[in-house]
Amino acid sequence: MAAGGAAKLRIPQPKSRAGPVVAVRWRMGRFLSTFQGRLDSKGRVSLPAAFRAVLEADGHPGVFLHPALEQPAIEAGGNRLLAEIDGLIGRFPPYSEARDLMATALLGQAEIAKLDPEGRLTLPERLKAHAGISQSLVFVGLGEKFRIWAPEKFTAHLEEATSNLRAVRAGLSRSG
């Protein structure tokens, strides 16, 4: 195992002109899978235990939340998501308009939701409105982060993503 408990995997050399062997690091503690949830009468939802474990291992004191920029969903995570956002913002010169716009969009609308002792969180009203969440919701793991969707919006997004993936895969088959 490599430092940090992550195993290093080797991918065999392809038989084409694709280049050298690629080393991939599998990161322990990633947000994986899809879980359904429901808001209770007080507007709380139980964060999936697997997601709570990732946040705990990440050392984040709650759940970092912001409106997803291009989707009607809530983007969520912990310190790794914040580091990813800091990296994006850091690509722009200090005090530049681009940096300010990026920080405003990703940090200016963000909130940190605290988990109660039972692992429940309360989603802010404006984030629920952005995602179209009323009672039911879906947690979708995306590795370093996760998204919270209204079920019907996630279903439509998943259908589009699957269709696009099939098109990409078909294009790869034709070009190889």
Domain parsing of the chain, residue ranges = 45-164
Q: Could you count the other beta carbons within 10 Å of the beta carbon of residue 146?
A: 30
**Measured CA angle at 99 (ends 67, 92), to 5 deg:** 125
Residue 61, pLDDT score: 86
Residue 164: Cβ within 10 Å count: 10
pLDDT, averaged per 10 consecutive residues of the chain (176 residues), comes to 42 40 53 98 96 94 95 97 95 96 95 96 97 98 97 97 91 77
Give pLDDT, residue 176.
61
Per-residue confidence (pLDDT) for residue 19, from 0 to 100: 42
Query: Quick check: 12 and 6 in contact, CB under 8 A?
Result: no
Domain 45-164: assigned CATH number: 3.40.1550.20
CA quadruple 12, 80, 33, 142: dihedral sign: negative
- The structure tokens 């009203």 sit at 125
Total number of residues shown for the chain: 176
pLDDT for residue 17 = 40
Is 31 in contact with 143 (CB distance < 8 Å)?
yes
Looking at residue 148, its pLDDT comes to 98
Q: Which residues pair with 66 in a beta bridge?
A: 75
Task: Kindly report the pTM of this predicted structure.
Answer: 0.80
Classified as helix, coil or strand, 40 is coil
Q: What is the pLDDT of residue 172?
A: 84
The pLDDT of residue 29: 87
Look at the alpha carbons of 152, 46, 71, 26 in this order and tell me if their dihedral is positive or negative. negative
